[in-house]
Amino acid sequence: MRTLTAPLPQDAAPDLDPQRDTARTVMIDGLLQRGFPLMMFPRELEREFQFAGLPARRAHILKSGFISLLIFNVFLVADYLMLPDVFNLALTLRLLVFTPIALLFLLTFQQGRVRVLADASPLVLESIAMVSGLSAAAVLAFILASSNSPLAYLYHIGFMVVITYGNIVQRMRFWYAVAFSLALITLHVGGVYALPSFPERMVLPLVSMVLASAAFTLTANYALENDERRRFLLTERERGLIRSLTQTQVRLRELSRVDELTGLYNRRHFEASMQTLWQRVSFGRIPMAILMIDVDHFKKFNDHYGHPAGDACLRQVCQVLKQTLSGQGVIVARYGGEEFIAAIPNLDEAATLALAEQVRANVERCQILHERSSTSSVVTVSLGLAWCEARPEMKVEHLLALADGALYDAKHQGRNRVCSQST
């Protein structure tokens, strides 16, 4: 036998942890206002930033790596013109040592055949970019140290090219770029003093040029990363606003279909859901019942005990309905005032009648004192039940009318009872 389920609404709308979202929004707003001069976010946000940009960083490092490798070998022309005495060494180091290793690495990285490279973390990626730049600089330093050419000292401007590659082309994260620049400056200064033929009067100008190159490119690197981080924060804030709006929409949608006092569905939602449910059960010729429940002499209860007590009474009756009808595949709603309604599919007439009687007995068993009732000393309910085997040619309005008529009979036969009609 097929069961159609329609869960009762919860006390609150589905939530996406609004407290966490609020704290996150406050943190992001603070960072946008104060800035982040050290190029670091709080730990969790920093990790999100690094991993959010990981695919783009991986693609950028790969693309710029191929281009830079080509340019690296184009400098063989400069080697030939300025360092002819070590051209064979330069040719060997550039084309036969550095290029095959770099090319193998880039192709492996591109194909993702090595798990460490395919799943590279931000730390690994930045380290790869830095090591590739330092390796190129080491090749340059070795060639310079091996040459006796009178133009060798001028070739030290090649360190400026490598610094530009790391800080601007590869665009390493700022602190990696700082470490990279310091390493190249050290390599450059060491090379200056290791070259016996280096003109003393050219030391300061060339070192100054390399230092200026590092300073300018680091400034640009800092600005680029600052913009990237700010865009990330703005995007995250926008996502937070969207999540907040989504939460609000969910709550409003829930409020539009839920009765605020009892937490049950309201009449509008019941009628809309009933149309959909009726189409399903009538198509399958499934048994269907409508149960109308009315709290006996509720106006007298309200007048005698007050509205707060009346509200508490309705909530208690609502709890009985939830507990008794839950799990039976029903749709339960507050129909208006002290009236409730339930749509019960997939039960035969006898089982539905027994369920209605159980609701009546459970409400009476609550022993809610009602001194103004002419039916009982406690709160009771009258129930009207209409049952049918749903068919496509039938109208749900007819079943509702039968249930209303059965409820009328229950009231006029003394209340605190179940009356039923079937078709």
Catalytic residues: 338
Alpha-carbon dihedral sign for residues 193, 196, 198, 200: positive
| Token representation of residue 282 | 């009538």
Asked whether the beta carbons of 338 and 373 are under 8 A apart, the reply is no
**Three-state DSSP class for 155?**
helix
Angle at the Cα of 103 from the Cα atoms of 100 and 105, rounded to 5 degrees: 105
Sequence-distant (6+) residues with CB within 8 A of 105 are none
Could you count the other beta carbons within 10 Å of the beta carbon of residue 332? 26
Q: How far apart are CA 227 and CA 230, in angstroms?
A: 5
Q: How far apart are CA 269 and CA 266, in angstroms?
A: 6
H or E element in which residue 65 lies: helix 54-74
H or E element in which residue 179 lies: helix 174-194
Q: How far apart are CA 294 and CA 317, in angstroms?
A: 10
Asked whether the beta carbons of 170 and 199 are under 8 A apart, the reply is no
DSSP characters over 258-326: B-TTT-SB-HHHHHHHHHHHHHHHHHTT-EEEEEEEEETTHHHHHHHH-HHHHHHHHHHHHHHHHHHHT
Cα separations in angstroms, 200 against 189, 193, 195, 206: 13, 9, 11, 11
**Three-state DSSP class for 378?**
strand
Q: How far apart are CA 47 and CA 289, in angstroms?
A: 56
